[in-house]
Amino acid sequence: MNRYRNKMRYTSLVIIMLLFLSSIKAQQNTETYFDPLTDDIAEVLPPLEALLTAAINNSPEVLYEELKTDYYRYETKSAQNAWLEHFGVETELNYGQWYFNDRDELTKLERFYLTQSHRWNFSFGFAMRFPLTSIIDRRNRINKQKKWVEISMAQREINIKQLRKEVITLYNALVQQQRMLKIANDYQHWTYIQMQMAQNEFVSGQISTAEITRLKEIQTRGALEFEKNRAEFENSYDFLQELVGMNFNEIKELK
C-alpha cells in the first residue's frame, strides 16, 4: 500500500513539473518582441512557403470545393446505380370482412345472394420497367457527373492559385511597407530635431515667423506620412495573420 502511495506521489510530482515547464515555455513564446523600426520582419515571420500552406489549409473557398468534389463523386455513384430503380418487389398482406352481392348465373332466375366472409389476402410480385432513355442515356449521365468532379477539382486549383497570389502579394507588401515605415520614421525624427532647433532660433530672433511656420508644416507632413505608413503596415500585418489563420505572436506596437 505504501509502495502504491509513493508511486502516486511521484507521478503527481512529475505531472506538476511538466505543467510548470509548459507554463514557462508558453510565457516565453508569448513574450516575443518585434520592433518594426529596427528588426527585419522577413526574419521574424514564418517562411513564405509555410504561410502559403497555412493559407490553403485555412481557406474556406478551398474547403468548399473539396466538399463539392466529394458530393459529385457520390452523385457519380448514384448515376451508376440508377438502373436499379427500374426493378422492384411488391408484397401485400391484408385481412378484413368482405360482403358480396352475387348473381345466380346457373338458374337464370336473376336472383342475387348476399354473402359475407372473413379473408386473409397475401400477394407477392416482381416488377421491372426499363424506359429506353435509361438504357441509351445511362453512360452520358455518368460522364456528366464525372465532368462535374473534374470541374470542381479545377476550381479548387484556381482558388489555390489565387490564394497563393494574395499571400505572396501581401507578404511582399508587408516587407516593403516596413522599409517605408523606417524611412518615414527617420524623416519624422529629422523634422522633429529641425523643429526643436528652429524654435530655439525663433526665440533668439534668428529666424522669422514665416520660416518657423514653414518648418512646422514640414514636420506635420512628416508626422502624417509616418502615421499613414504605420497604419498600412499594421493593416497588412493583421490581414496576413487572418489570411493564413496564424497568430505570429509578435508585439508590433510602436513605442
Residues 173-204 have pLDDT tens digits of: 999 999 999 999 999 999 989 888 988 888 88
Same domain, 65 and 173: yes
- % pLDDT > 70, the chain: 78
Same domain, 2 and 128: no
Same domain, 5 and 41: no
Question: What's the number of domains the chain is made of?
Answer: 2
pLDDT of residue 178: 92
Give 246: exposed, middle or buried? Use CB within 10 Å, 0-12, 13-18, 19+: middle
What is the average pLDDT across 6-21? 44
Q: How far apart are CA 169 and CA 171, in angstroms?
A: 5
Record the pTM.
0.67
Same domain, 153 and 234: yes
What value does the mean pLDDT of the chain take? 80
Give the HSE-up count for residue 33: Cα atoms under 13 Å, Cβ half-sphere.
5
Is the pLDDT confidence value at 227 over 90?
A: yes
Q: Take residue 75 and report the three cell numbers written for it.
A: 452523385
pLDDT of residue 33: 67
Which residue's entry shows cell 519624422? 188
Same domain, 204 and 90: yes
Quickly list H helices, the chain: 2-30, 41-44, 48-58, 60-80, 132-136, 138-203, 209-244
Is the pLDDT confidence value at 129 over 50?
A: yes
Question: What does DSSP say about strands 87-103 and 112-128: parallel, antiparallel, or unpaired?
Answer: antiparallel
Same domain, 55 and 149: yes
Residues of the domain holding 19: 1-30
For residue 172, give the CATH number of its domain: 1.20.1600.10
pLDDT of residue 110: 67
Q: What per-residue string of b and e applies to 139-149 under the rule 16 or more CB within 10 Å gives b?
A: eebbeebbebb
pLDDT of residue 17: 46
Higher pLDDT, 227 or 136: 227
Is the pLDDT confidence value at 34 over 80?
A: no
Same domain, 172 and 81: yes
Which residue's entry shows cell 345466380? 104
Which residue's entry shows cell 468532379? 149
Residue 25: pLDDT band (50, 70, 90) is very low
Higher pLDDT, 77 or 102: 77
Same domain, 2 and 112: no
Element (H, E) at 205: none
Element (H, E) at 118: strand 112-128
Residue 113: pLDDT band (50, 70, 90) is low
Is the pLDDT confidence value at 126 over 80?
A: no
Q: C-alpha distances in angstroms, 22 versus 27, 115, 211, 249? A: 9, 91, 61, 17
Is the pLDDT confidence value at 95 over 50?
A: yes
Same domain, 2 and 38: no
pLDDT of residue 105: 65
Q: How far apart are CA 5 and CA 12, in angstroms?
A: 11
